Copies of this chain bind each other. A is one copy, B any other.
Amino acid sequence: VSLVYKSEATRGEIWREIFAREMPDLPFHVWPEVGDRASVRYLVCWVPPENLTEQFPNLDVLFSVGAGVDQFDFSTLPADLPVVRMTEEGIAEGMVQYATMAVLALHRDLFVYQSQQRKEAWRTLPHMPAGQRRVGVMGLGMLGKRVLEQLRPFGFDLAGWSRSGCDLDGIDSYAGAEQLPAFLARTDILICLLPLTEETRGVLDRDLFACLPVGAALINVGRGGHLNQDNLLHALASGQLRHAVLDVCDPEPLTQGHPFWSHPHITLTPHIASVTHAQTGAQTLIENLRRHQRGEGMVGVVNRQSGY
Protein backbone atom coordinates (compact mmCIF):
# COMPACT_ATOMS: atom_id res chain seq x y z
CA VAL A 1 0.00 0.00 0.00
CA SER A 2 1.45 3.39 -1.00
CA LEU A 3 0.56 7.04 -1.58
CA VAL A 4 1.35 9.30 -4.56
CA TYR A 5 1.55 13.09 -4.15
CA LYS A 6 1.15 15.11 -7.38
CA SER A 7 1.20 18.84 -6.69
CA GLU A 8 3.47 21.72 -5.73
CA ALA A 9 7.06 20.52 -5.14
CA THR A 10 8.04 22.58 -2.07
CA ARG A 11 5.07 21.32 -0.10
CA GLY A 12 5.80 17.81 -1.39
CA GLU A 13 9.23 17.84 0.24
CA ILE A 14 7.77 19.06 3.56
CA TRP A 15 5.07 16.40 3.45
CA ARG A 16 7.59 13.69 2.60
CA GLU A 17 9.42 14.45 5.88
CA ILE A 18 6.24 14.62 7.93
CA PHE A 19 5.00 11.30 6.49
CA ALA A 20 8.38 9.63 7.11
CA ARG A 21 7.98 10.54 10.77
CA GLU A 22 4.24 10.04 11.26
CA MET A 23 3.36 7.20 8.89
CA PRO A 24 6.69 5.45 8.27
CA ASP A 25 4.96 2.31 6.98
CA LEU A 26 3.22 4.14 4.12
CA PRO A 27 5.58 4.76 1.16
CA PHE A 28 5.21 8.43 0.06
CA HIS A 29 5.96 8.94 -3.65
CA VAL A 30 6.28 12.39 -5.22
CA TRP A 31 5.03 12.46 -8.84
CA PRO A 32 6.36 11.63 -11.44
CA GLU A 33 8.01 8.96 -9.24
CA VAL A 34 5.20 6.50 -8.34
CA GLY A 35 6.79 3.17 -7.37
CA ASP A 36 4.71 0.07 -8.03
CA ARG A 37 1.51 1.37 -9.66
CA ALA A 38 -0.62 -1.51 -8.39
CA SER A 39 0.27 -0.64 -4.78
CA VAL A 40 -0.94 2.95 -5.02
CA ARG A 41 -4.12 3.24 -2.92
CA TYR A 42 -4.05 6.98 -2.21
CA LEU A 43 -3.59 9.84 -4.69
CA VAL A 44 -3.20 13.39 -3.32
CA CYS A 45 -3.29 15.98 -6.09
CA TRP A 46 -4.66 19.17 -7.56
CA VAL A 47 -5.01 17.91 -11.15
CA PRO A 48 -5.06 14.10 -11.48
CA PRO A 49 -2.99 12.39 -14.20
CA GLU A 50 -4.73 11.38 -17.41
CA ASN A 51 -5.99 7.80 -17.57
CA LEU A 52 -6.27 7.68 -13.84
CA THR A 53 -7.61 4.14 -13.61
CA GLU A 54 -4.93 2.77 -15.94
CA GLN A 55 -2.22 4.59 -13.99
CA PHE A 56 -3.48 3.41 -10.61
CA PRO A 57 -5.82 0.43 -10.97
CA ASN A 58 -6.24 -0.12 -7.20
CA LEU A 59 -6.89 3.43 -6.04
CA ASP A 60 -8.92 3.65 -2.78
CA VAL A 61 -9.21 7.41 -2.28
CA LEU A 62 -8.59 10.58 -4.31
CA PHE A 63 -7.62 13.56 -2.11
CA SER A 64 -7.66 17.17 -3.31
CA VAL A 65 -4.81 19.29 -1.94
CA GLY A 66 -7.20 22.27 -1.90
CA ALA A 67 -10.61 23.13 -0.47
CA GLY A 68 -12.17 22.93 -3.95
CA VAL A 69 -12.74 19.88 -6.14
CA ASP A 70 -13.92 21.75 -9.25
CA GLN A 71 -10.63 20.87 -10.96
CA PHE A 72 -11.85 17.25 -11.16
CA ASP A 73 -13.96 16.03 -14.08
CA PHE A 74 -16.19 13.64 -12.14
CA SER A 75 -17.40 11.97 -15.35
CA THR A 76 -13.90 10.55 -15.86
CA LEU A 77 -13.55 9.24 -12.29
CA PRO A 78 -14.74 5.78 -11.21
CA ALA A 79 -18.23 6.22 -9.74
CA ASP A 80 -17.32 4.48 -6.46
CA LEU A 81 -14.01 6.31 -5.86
CA PRO A 82 -14.27 8.51 -2.74
CA VAL A 83 -13.12 12.09 -3.41
CA VAL A 84 -12.02 14.12 -0.37
CA ARG A 85 -11.57 17.89 -0.06
CA MET A 86 -8.86 19.50 2.08
CA THR A 87 -10.43 21.01 5.19
CA GLU A 88 -7.38 22.08 7.20
CA GLU A 89 -7.32 25.16 9.42
CA GLY A 90 -4.83 27.18 7.34
CA ILE A 91 -7.32 27.41 4.45
CA ALA A 92 -9.90 29.01 6.71
CA GLU A 93 -7.33 31.31 8.33
CA GLY A 94 -6.22 32.74 4.98
CA MET A 95 -9.77 33.08 3.67
CA VAL A 96 -10.95 34.88 6.79
CA GLN A 97 -8.03 37.31 6.58
CA TYR A 98 -8.59 38.06 2.92
CA ALA A 99 -12.36 38.45 3.12
CA THR A 100 -12.12 40.69 6.20
CA MET A 101 -9.43 42.80 4.52
CA ALA A 102 -11.56 43.21 1.39
CA VAL A 103 -14.74 44.04 3.34
CA LEU A 104 -12.94 46.64 5.48
CA ALA A 105 -11.19 48.14 2.42
CA LEU A 106 -14.54 48.50 0.63
CA HIS A 107 -16.33 49.70 3.77
CA ARG A 108 -13.69 52.36 4.47
CA ASP A 109 -13.20 53.35 0.79
CA LEU A 110 -9.51 52.42 0.75
CA PHE A 111 -9.43 52.10 -3.05
CA VAL A 112 -10.99 55.56 -3.51
CA TYR A 113 -8.50 57.08 -1.05
CA GLN A 114 -5.63 55.43 -2.93
CA SER A 115 -6.88 56.99 -6.14
CA GLN A 116 -7.16 60.38 -4.38
CA GLN A 117 -3.58 60.00 -3.13
CA ARG A 118 -2.32 59.64 -6.70
CA LYS A 119 -4.08 62.95 -7.49
CA GLU A 120 -2.70 64.63 -4.33
CA ALA A 121 -6.28 65.12 -3.11
CA TRP A 122 -6.91 65.34 0.67
CA ARG A 123 -10.66 64.84 0.82
CA THR A 124 -12.77 63.09 3.46
CA LEU A 125 -15.56 60.81 2.20
CA PRO A 126 -18.79 60.29 4.15
CA HIS A 127 -18.37 57.64 6.83
CA MET A 128 -21.00 54.96 7.30
CA PRO A 129 -21.30 53.22 10.69
CA ALA A 130 -20.70 49.47 10.47
CA GLY A 131 -24.22 48.76 11.68
CA GLN A 132 -25.63 50.35 8.53
CA ARG A 133 -23.34 48.42 6.14
CA ARG A 134 -25.01 45.24 4.90
CA VAL A 135 -22.54 42.46 4.16
CA GLY A 136 -23.75 39.20 2.62
CA VAL A 137 -21.97 35.88 2.13
CA MET A 138 -23.07 33.48 -0.64
CA GLY A 139 -22.07 29.94 0.26
CA LEU A 140 -22.33 28.80 3.88
CA GLY A 141 -19.85 25.98 4.06
CA MET A 142 -17.09 25.96 6.64
CA LEU A 143 -15.40 28.97 5.01
CA GLY A 144 -18.54 31.08 4.62
CA LYS A 145 -19.50 30.51 8.23
CA ARG A 146 -16.01 31.35 9.48
CA VAL A 147 -15.97 34.58 7.47
CA LEU A 148 -19.32 35.63 8.98
CA GLU A 149 -18.06 34.81 12.48
CA GLN A 150 -14.95 36.94 12.03
CA LEU A 151 -16.93 39.88 10.64
CA ARG A 152 -19.39 39.79 13.54
CA PRO A 153 -17.37 41.80 16.12
CA PHE A 154 -17.02 44.70 13.65
CA GLY A 155 -20.75 45.28 13.97
CA PHE A 156 -21.74 44.92 10.31
CA ASP A 157 -25.31 44.04 9.34
CA LEU A 158 -24.63 40.45 8.24
CA ALA A 159 -26.56 37.84 6.26
CA GLY A 160 -25.83 34.57 4.50
CA TRP A 161 -27.31 32.68 1.56
CA SER A 162 -26.90 29.08 0.47
CA ARG A 163 -28.80 26.57 -1.63
CA SER A 164 -30.27 24.75 1.31
CA GLY A 165 -30.02 27.40 4.03
CA CYS A 166 -28.36 26.98 7.38
CA ASP A 167 -28.76 28.09 10.97
CA LEU A 168 -26.45 31.01 11.76
CA ASP A 169 -26.56 32.18 15.35
CA GLY A 170 -28.06 35.67 15.24
CA ILE A 171 -27.36 36.18 11.51
CA ASP A 172 -30.12 36.23 8.89
CA SER A 173 -29.93 33.16 6.66
CA TYR A 174 -31.57 32.96 3.22
CA ALA A 175 -32.08 29.71 1.29
CA GLY A 176 -32.57 28.65 -2.31
CA ALA A 177 -33.36 30.42 -5.55
CA GLU A 178 -36.59 31.79 -4.15
CA GLN A 179 -34.92 33.84 -1.41
CA LEU A 180 -31.91 34.91 -3.46
CA PRO A 181 -33.39 38.24 -4.69
CA ALA A 182 -34.31 39.29 -1.13
CA PHE A 183 -30.80 38.42 0.07
CA LEU A 184 -29.21 40.41 -2.75
CA ALA A 185 -31.51 43.42 -2.27
CA ARG A 186 -30.20 43.86 1.31
CA THR A 187 -26.50 43.35 0.46
CA ASP A 188 -24.07 46.29 -0.03
CA ILE A 189 -20.96 44.12 -0.03
CA LEU A 190 -21.37 40.64 -1.55
CA ILE A 191 -18.84 37.88 -0.88
CA CYS A 192 -18.97 34.84 -3.18
CA LEU A 193 -17.73 31.72 -1.41
CA LEU A 194 -19.76 29.17 -3.36
CA PRO A 195 -18.36 25.89 -4.63
CA LEU A 196 -18.09 25.81 -8.42
CA THR A 197 -20.62 23.33 -9.80
CA GLU A 198 -22.74 23.11 -12.93
CA GLU A 199 -25.41 24.95 -10.98
CA THR A 200 -23.23 27.86 -9.81
CA ARG A 201 -21.16 28.42 -12.96
CA GLY A 202 -21.69 32.00 -14.16
CA VAL A 203 -23.98 32.84 -11.21
CA LEU A 204 -22.35 36.28 -10.79
CA ASP A 205 -24.05 37.75 -13.83
CA ARG A 206 -26.17 40.69 -14.99
CA ASP A 207 -29.36 39.37 -13.37
CA LEU A 208 -27.68 38.90 -10.00
CA PHE A 209 -25.97 42.32 -10.12
CA ALA A 210 -29.33 43.95 -10.96
CA CYS A 211 -30.79 42.60 -7.68
CA LEU A 212 -28.09 44.32 -5.60
CA PRO A 213 -28.56 47.93 -4.44
CA VAL A 214 -27.02 50.48 -6.82
CA GLY A 215 -23.35 51.01 -5.92
CA ALA A 216 -22.86 47.62 -4.25
CA ALA A 217 -19.44 45.95 -4.19
CA LEU A 218 -18.38 42.40 -5.06
CA ILE A 219 -15.72 40.17 -3.52
CA ASN A 220 -15.14 36.95 -5.45
CA VAL A 221 -13.12 34.42 -3.49
CA GLY A 222 -14.97 31.46 -5.00
CA ARG A 223 -13.83 30.52 -8.49
CA GLY A 224 -13.27 32.48 -11.68
CA GLY A 225 -16.01 30.37 -13.29
CA HIS A 226 -18.64 31.94 -11.03
CA LEU A 227 -18.21 35.31 -12.73
CA ASN A 228 -19.52 36.54 -16.05
CA GLN A 229 -16.67 38.90 -16.89
CA ASP A 230 -18.49 40.97 -19.52
CA ASN A 231 -21.44 41.46 -17.21
CA LEU A 232 -19.10 42.68 -14.46
CA LEU A 233 -17.50 45.24 -16.79
CA HIS A 234 -20.96 46.52 -17.74
CA ALA A 235 -22.11 46.70 -14.12
CA LEU A 236 -19.00 48.71 -13.17
CA ALA A 237 -19.43 51.02 -16.17
CA SER A 238 -23.08 51.72 -15.33
CA GLY A 239 -22.37 52.26 -11.63
CA GLN A 240 -24.60 49.34 -10.63
CA LEU A 241 -21.43 48.05 -8.94
CA ARG A 242 -18.81 50.43 -7.54
CA HIS A 243 -15.88 48.05 -7.12
CA ALA A 244 -14.90 44.39 -7.37
CA VAL A 245 -12.17 42.57 -5.47
CA LEU A 246 -11.29 39.40 -7.36
CA ASP A 247 -8.93 36.73 -6.09
CA VAL A 248 -9.93 34.25 -8.79
CA CYS A 249 -10.17 34.48 -12.59
CA ASP A 250 -10.82 32.38 -15.61
CA PRO A 251 -8.31 31.50 -16.93
CA GLU A 252 -5.60 31.75 -14.30
CA PRO A 253 -3.23 33.49 -14.82
CA LEU A 254 -5.45 36.10 -16.43
CA THR A 255 -4.50 36.70 -20.05
CA GLN A 256 -2.21 39.63 -20.90
CA GLY A 257 -4.08 42.74 -21.97
CA HIS A 258 -7.34 41.63 -20.28
CA PRO A 259 -9.36 44.72 -19.23
CA PHE A 260 -9.43 43.58 -15.56
CA TRP A 261 -5.69 44.30 -15.13
CA SER A 262 -5.98 48.05 -15.63
CA HIS A 263 -9.56 48.62 -14.50
CA PRO A 264 -9.68 51.41 -11.87
CA HIS A 265 -12.51 49.66 -10.01
CA ILE A 266 -11.14 46.12 -10.00
CA THR A 267 -8.62 44.93 -7.43
CA LEU A 268 -7.05 41.69 -8.60
CA THR A 269 -4.93 39.21 -6.64
CA PRO A 270 -3.46 35.97 -8.02
CA HIS A 271 -5.56 33.34 -6.20
CA ILE A 272 -3.84 33.88 -2.86
CA ALA A 273 -6.80 34.38 -0.50
CA SER A 274 -6.56 30.93 0.93
CA VAL A 275 -3.49 28.75 1.13
CA THR A 276 -3.20 25.15 2.30
CA HIS A 277 -0.53 25.29 5.01
CA ALA A 278 2.06 22.57 4.55
CA GLN A 279 2.22 21.59 8.24
CA THR A 280 -1.46 21.58 9.20
CA GLY A 281 -2.44 20.27 5.76
CA ALA A 282 -0.26 17.19 6.27
CA GLN A 283 -1.77 16.57 9.69
CA THR A 284 -5.30 16.79 8.30
CA LEU A 285 -4.44 14.34 5.53
CA ILE A 286 -2.78 11.92 7.96
CA GLU A 287 -5.82 11.96 10.24
CA ASN A 288 -8.05 11.12 7.28
CA LEU A 289 -5.74 8.29 6.18
CA ARG A 290 -5.83 6.82 9.69
CA ARG A 291 -9.61 7.07 9.74
CA HIS A 292 -9.75 5.27 6.37
CA GLN A 293 -7.38 2.54 7.53
CA ARG A 294 -9.52 2.01 10.64
CA GLY A 295 -12.61 1.81 8.43
CA GLU A 296 -14.05 5.08 9.79
CA GLY A 297 -15.63 7.94 7.81
CA MET A 298 -13.23 10.59 6.50
CA VAL A 299 -13.66 14.38 6.90
CA GLY A 300 -14.43 16.33 3.70
CA VAL A 301 -15.81 13.50 1.54
CA VAL A 302 -17.44 15.05 -1.54
CA ASN A 303 -21.07 14.41 -2.37
CA ARG A 304 -21.04 13.68 -6.10
CA GLN A 305 -24.67 14.82 -6.41
CA SER A 306 -24.11 18.36 -5.09
CA GLY A 307 -20.53 18.52 -6.40
CA TYR A 308 -19.03 19.65 -3.06
Contacts and interface: CB of A to CB of B under 8 A. Distances in A.
B113 A105 contact: no
A256 B94 CA distance: 38
A175 interface: no
Interface stretch (A21-29, A74-82, A114-122, A159-167): A114-122
Nearest to A106: B101
A51 interface: no
29 contacts: A93-B130, A93-B154, A93-B155, A96-B154, A97-B104, A97-B154, A100-B100, A100-B104, A100-B154, A101-B110, A105-B105, A114-B267, A116-B270, A117-B267, A117-B269, A118-B261, A118-B262, A120-B257, A120-B261, A120-B262, A122-B253, A122-B254, A122-B270, A123-B270, A124-B270, A124-B272, A127-B272, A127-B275, A150-B153
A302 B107 CA distance: 32
Interface in A225-255: 252-254
A176 interface: no
Q: Which 3 A-B pairs have the closest CB atoms?
A: A122-B253, A101-B104, A122-B270
A161 B81 CA distance: 55
A271 interface: yes
A156 to B, nearest CB: 10
A268 interface: yes
A97 B123 CA distance: 19
A108 interface: yes
A90 interface: yes
This chain's copy number in the assembly: 2
Interface of A: 90, 93-94, 96-98, 100-101, 104-105, 107-108, 110, 113-114, 116-118, 120, 122-125, 127, 129-130, 150, 153-155, 252-254, 256-257, 261-262, 267-272, 275, 277
Nearest to A256: B120
Contacts of A275: 127
A90 B130 CA distance: 9
A257 B129 CA distance: 33
B261 A90 contact: no
A142 to B, nearest CB: 16
Contacts of A256: 120
A107 B269 CA distance: 14
Contacts of A277: 129
A224 to B, nearest CB: 12
A149 to B, nearest CB: 8
Contacts of A257: 120
Contacts of A114: 114, 267
A113 B150 contact: no
Contacts of A123: 270
